[in-house]
């Protein structure tokens, strides 16, 4: 008997929507759970080269928890390519500007670094408040 390989059309037809409340959940634990669902590894039909994952909505992104003094010590770097043009910001500064950025960056680092990973990241929706515009999709609650 051959190993089951999911087809892209089959995977797209069976996608679900999940909603996850990020209030007081550590950033790393949240990101690993979200990345698992986006990849589809929680399903028995998981196929590494096919996007079998589901959609994930993260609400209350601004209330995610960091342990210790990471809010001041954790740094985010960006570089334009010019000498001496590196920018560094702390977690506190970045989350004050855009509460969804730390979650998106953490999840992105846990997905494959190829076209498939970029497609998976499009199924992640992050919102700073507890409201979202995806009620029509009837999302189910996702637990850690």
How many other C-beta atoms are found inside a 10 Å radius of the C-beta of residue 12? 11
- For the chain, list the strands marked E by DSSP: 17-21, 55-59, 75-79, 86-90, 124-126, 140-141
Helix boundaries (H) for 40-130: 70-73, 91-97, 101-108, 115-121
* Cα separation, 114 vs 67, whole angstroms: 31
* Neighbour-count burial of 122, counting CB atoms closer than 10 A to its CB (0-12 exposed, 13-18 middle, 19+ buried): exposed
For the chain, which residues make up each domain, given as ranges?
15-67+97-131
- Is pTM, for the whole model, over 0.85? yes
141 has pLDDT over 90: yes
* Cα separation, 78 vs 36, whole angstroms: 27
Q: Express each pLDDT in 77-114 by its tens digit.
A: 999 999 999 999 999 999 999 999 999 999 999 999 99
Those residues whose C-beta lies under 8 Å from the C-beta of residue 4, and which sit 6 or more positions away, are 45, 47
CATH 3.20.20.150 assigned to domain 15-67+97-131? The reply is no
What percent of the chain is predicted at pLDDT more than 70?
Answer: 100
The pLDDT of residue 24 is 95
The pLDDT of residue 41 is 96
The pLDDT of residue 83 is 97
Beta-bridge mates of residue 18: 56, 140
Q: Express each pLDDT in 6-38 by its tens digit.
A: 999 999 999 999 999 999 999 999 999 999 999
């Amino acid at each position: 008997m051959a190993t089951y390989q999911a087809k892209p059309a089959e995977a797209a037809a069976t996608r679900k929507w999940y909603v996850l409340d990020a209030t007081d959940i550590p950033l790393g634990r949240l990101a690993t759970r979200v990345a698992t669902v986006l990849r589809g590894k929680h399903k028995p039909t998981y196929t590494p080269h096919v996007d079998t994952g589901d959609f994930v909505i993260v609400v209350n992104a601004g209330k995610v928890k960091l342990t210790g003094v990471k809010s001041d010590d954790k740094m985010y770097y960006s570089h334009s390519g010019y000498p001496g043009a590196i920018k560094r910001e702390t977690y506190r500064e970045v989350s004050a500007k855009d509460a969804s950025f730390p979650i998106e960056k953490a999840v992105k680092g846990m997905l494959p670094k190829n076209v498939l990973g970029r497609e998976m990241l499009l199924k992640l929706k992050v919102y700073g408040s507890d409201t979202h515009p995806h009620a029509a999709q009837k999302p189910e609650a996702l637990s850690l």
